[in-house]
């Protein structure tokens, strides 16, 4: 019975066809797989939120009879997906460099995913409010507006886009 290490080396040689470039590509692929495998559900979550935002954005455009330019819509969505991927990847890299070895705790990547998800959810709520202003998300929008005003200390006027600083009024 051959040694297991010898078998692995022979298999590695076979996959790489004995070339250095093949071995480098296999090593890079292995490293990327090890880096991204644990956070695939987080990335998929962000991508689903972004796709749903795009879907409802298209529905709003149809309702408002605006011309939809697919190349702009698609390229804008791709840029957003790339930005989300970079943000979560950087959070993962920082997490791995600070915590050292794999712990299975995704504090930074989970936090980045929550931020991206909430941002996309906010946009989806705005689209839903445009599609059906009397829907149940109206109350949620008012609640979030109030909490946002309390947090940043300014009054958010959603009517004409002006923002008034509460601290200067008081």
CA 9 – CA 38 distance, rounded (Å): 26
Using the predicted structure, report yes or no on whether residue 167 has a pLDDT greater than 60: no
CB-CB contact of 39 with 107 (8 Å): no
State if pTM tops 0.75.
Answer: no
Using the predicted structure, report yes or no on whether residue 149 has a pLDDT greater than 80: no
**pLDDT value of position 62:** 86
Q: Could you read off the pLDDT of 51-70 as tens digits, one per residue?
A: 998 888 888 888 888 877 77
CA 13 – CA 56 distance, rounded (Å): 50
Q: Could you read off the pLDDT of 1-52 as tens digits, one per residue?
A: 457 777 767 777 777 777 777 778 777 888 888 888 888 899 999 999 999 9
């Amino acid at each position: 019975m051959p040694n297991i290490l010898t078998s692995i080396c022979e298999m590695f040689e076979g996959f790489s066809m004995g070339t250095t470039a093949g071995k480098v590509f296999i090593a890079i692929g292995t490293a990327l797989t090890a880096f991204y495998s644990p956070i695939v559900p987080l990335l998929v979550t962000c991508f689903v939120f972004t796709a749903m935002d795009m879907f409802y954005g298209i529905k709003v455009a149809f309702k408002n009879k605006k011309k939809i330019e697919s190349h702009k819509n698609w390229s804008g969505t791709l840029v957003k997906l790339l930005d989300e991927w970079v943000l979560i990847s950087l959070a993962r890299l920082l997490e791995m460099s600070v915590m050292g070895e794999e712990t299975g705790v995704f504090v930074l990547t989970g936090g980045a995913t929550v931020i991206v998800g909430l941002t996309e959810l906010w946009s989806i709520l705005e689209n839903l409010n445009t599609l059906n202003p009397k829907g149940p998300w109206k109350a949620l929008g008012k609640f979030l507006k109030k909490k946002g005003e309390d947090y940043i200390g300014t009054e958010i006027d959603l009517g004409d886009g002006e923002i008034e600083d509460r601290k200067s009024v008081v």
